[in-house]
Structure 1
C-alpha cells in the first residue's frame, strides 16, 4: 500500500475509533463489567460447554448467564435495596438527633482519666463543644450526601436498568464467542507472540485476582462485621457492614477504621464485654481473614505490593468512581507487567538490529 494511502487509512481508522468510543462512553461501566464477568466466569462456561459435549454454545452461555444472575446480580440488587432503606433510616436518626456523633465523642472524653485530657488539649482535641459541633455537622453532611445518592439512584432507575440489560446482553456474546474474539484482539497488538500471550494472561489473572480475591475477602469481612454489629445491637449494622466491606479493599487499615472506634466507645463507656468481644472478633476473625483467604483466592504470584494496591485503588476511585477499585489495580498490574516485559523487548529489538546488520554486511555488493 502506498505511503499516502496507508497514512490516510490510519487517519480514518483513528477518527472512526474515537467516534465509536465516544458513543460507548455512556455505557462504559456496563461494558467493563460485562468483560470482567466474562473473564471470571469463563472457566464455568468452558466446563458447562464440555458437559454439553461442545454442541450447544448458546445453551452453555445461557446457563452461565443464569448462574451469574443468581450468584451476583440478584444478591447485589437485594443488598442495594436494603442499603438504601438503611441509609434513609440513618439519615432520619441523625437529622432528628437520635444519633449524635458529637455526643458519643463527649461520652468517650468524659470517661477518660484527667491525665488524658491534657494530652488531648495539646492536640487541639480537648475543646468538647467545638469538636462536638464539627462531628455533628460532618455526620449530618455525610448523611445528606448518602441520602442524595440514594435518591439519585432511584431517579436513574431507567438508566440503571438499561445498563444492566446491556451488560447481560454483551456478557452472553462474550461468553459464547470469547474463543473467537480473543485471537482477533491479540492480532491487533503489534508485539511478539510471547509478549501478547503474556499480557493477555496477566490481564485475565489480575481481573480474576482482583475481583475473585479482593471482592470476596471484602464481602466476607463486611458480612462478618455487620453480623457482629447486629449481635451487639448497633444500629445500622447493614450500612456499617457495607462500609467495612469497601474499606477492606484498602490494605493495612481496612475494616478496622470502623470497628476499632466502636470498640473504644464500648470500653470507655463501661460496656466492657461488648468492647472485648468486638476487639477479639475484629483481630482474630476479621483481621486474620485476609491472611487466610488471600493466598488461596489471589495467590502469591499475582499479589501486588500493598502500597501499590492502596495508591492504585484510591486513584482509581477518584478517577473512575466506584468502578475504580477494580480498574485502578488492573492498570497498575498491567503497567508493572509491561515494565517486566521491557528488558526482554529491548533485548529482542537489539538482536533483530544485529541480525539485520549482519545480513546487510553479508549481502554481496552489486558493483563489485
Structure 2
C-alpha cells in the first residue's frame, strides 16, 4: 500500500488527487479504438485502390522504371546545377524514358508503312494464284508427302477458295481488328499515365524514397525496411537482366542477319532485342528469318542463323540472365526462373519484375525462419 503522509494537509491533497493509472475499461476502450481505426484505414485504402484500379498498372510500371533508374537519377540529382532544377531534371529523365520506348516502335511503324504497298500487292497475288510450295519441303527426310498434300489442298490453290482461309471470314477479321485496336488504345493510355506518374515520382526525388523507407520501418520495424530494400534491388536487377540481355541478343543476331543477307537486318535486330526481353521469345524472330532464308533457297545461311540464334539464346537465358538477376539478390537459378516465368503467367508483363521480387521475399523469410 502507498505510504500515507504524516502532514494532515498533504494527506487531504493526496485524497483529492485522482488515480491516473489506466483502468481495465480504459484499456479495452483504447484497444477497441485501435481496432476500429485499423478497420477504417483498411476500408479507406481498399476504396481508394478500387477507385484508381484502372490506373494501377501505370503506377506499377512507373514504380518499376523509377526503381531501375533510381541510382542514376540520384547521381544526377546530386550534381550542383541539376539539383537546383529538379523540375527540369524530372522532365528530362521522363522524356528520355518516353523516347526510349517511342523511337523503336516509331522506326518499326515507319518501315512497316514503307513495305505496306509491296505487301498488299503480294497478298493480292497470293489470293488470286495461291502460294507455291518451296522446293526444300520436298527434300525433308520425313513428312514431306503429308506436308505437300496439305499445302496443295490449302495454300497452293487460289486462297480465295482455300478451306483454311475461308475460316477467316470478314466478321472474324473485323472482330480481331477491333480487339487489336482497343488493346493498342488501352496500351497508349496506360503508357501516357505511366509517364505522368514517373514524372511526379522523379520530381519528389530522394524525399519519396526516404518516406517509403520510414513508413516501412514504422510499420514493420527494421526488418521491413531491409525487406523493402531487398525487393527494390531485386526489381532493379531484373530490369537490368532483361534489358541488357535483350539488347545483347538483338545486337548479335542483327549482325548475323546482315551476314546471312536477311533484308532489313537492323530492323529485325531491333525486333529481336524487344522479343529477347521476354524469356524464350527471341526464337520467334530468328527462326522466322531462318525460314525465310530457307524459302529463298539459302539453306546454309538459314541453318547458320538458326544454330547461332539457338546458341546465343541458350547462353543468355541459362547463364547470363540468371547471374544478372540473381547475383545481387542472391537468388538461386531455379527461383529466378520460377519468378520470371511464373510472374509473367500470373501478372503479365509486370510479372517479369514482380515475380523475382516475390521470390526475394520468400528467400528472406526462409533465411530468417531457419536462423
Q: Do both share a fold (TM > 0.5)?
A: yes
Distance 2:167 2:52 in 1: 38
1:215, CA displacement in angstroms? 1.8
1:225, CA displacement in angstroms? 3.2
Tell me: CA distance 1:24–1:10, structure 2 relative to 1, closer, same or farther (3 Å): same
**Alignment-derived partner of residue 360 in structure 1:** none
**Alignment-derived partner of residue 57 in structure 2:** 29
Tell me: CA distance 1:257–1:314, structure 2 relative to 1, closer, same or farther (3 Å): same
**Aligned with residue 266 of structure 1, among 293, 302, 313:** 293
**Aligned with residue 69 of structure 1, among 95, 111, 114:** 95
**Aligned with residue 172 of structure 1, among 167, 183, 203:** 203
Distance 2:242 2:174 in 1: 27
Q: How does 1:244-283 map to 2 (within 5 A)?
A: 245-250=274-279, 253-260=280-287, 262-263=289-290, 266-267=293-294, 270-279=297-306, 281-282=308-309
**Alignment-derived partner of residue 36 in structure 2:** 8
Q: Which structure 2 residue ranges, 5 or more long, are not aligned? A: 1-28, 156-161
**Alignment-derived partner of residue 363 in structure 1:** none
What TM-score does the superposition give when structure 2 sets the normalisation length? 0.68
Q: Deviations over 1:342-363 (max 9, x none)?
A: 334xxxxxxxxxxxxxxxxxxx
1:227, CA displacement in angstroms? 5.7
Q: Deviations over 1:196-250 (max 9, x none)?
A: 2431221121111111121221133235435644663346973674356334532
Distance 1:245 1:142 in 2: 27
Distance 1:112 1:29 in 2: 47
**Alignment-derived partner of residue 347 in structure 1:** none
| Structure 2 residue 198 is the aligned partner of structure 1 residue 183 | no
1:271, CA displacement in angstroms? 0.5
1:49, CA displacement in angstroms? 3.8
Contact 2:290 2:303 in 1 (8 A): yes
How many residues in Structure 1 have an aligned counterpart in Structure 2?
Answer: 330
Q: How does 1:104-115 map to 2 (within 5 A)?
A: 107-113=135-141
**Alignment-derived partner of residue 200 in structure 1:** 228
Q: Deviations over 1:13-41 (max 9, x none)?
A: 11111011112322212221322233222
**Alignment-derived partner of residue 23 in structure 2:** none
Distance 2:133 2:335 in 1: 34
Aligned residue for 2:285, secondary structure, equals: helix
Larger Rg belongs to: 2
**Alignment-derived partner of residue 80 in structure 1:** 105
Contact 1:84 1:150 in 2 (8 A): no
Q: How does 1:113-192 map to 2 (within 5 A)?
A: 113=141, 116-117=142-143, 127-129=150-152, 148-149=179-180, 152-154=183-185, 157=188, 160-173=191-204, 175-190=205-220, 192=221
Q: Deviations over 1:273-311 (max 9, x none)?
A: 522542464256565456785477446353645554444
Q: Which structure 1 residue ranges, 5 or more long, are not aligned? A: 345-368
| Structure 2 residue 58 is the aligned partner of structure 1 residue 51 | no
Aligned residue for 2:143, secondary structure, equals: helix
Q: Deviations over 1:129-154 (max 9, x none)?
A: 57867987999999995885356435
1:76, CA displacement in angstroms? 0.7
**Alignment-derived partner of residue 338 in structure 1:** 365
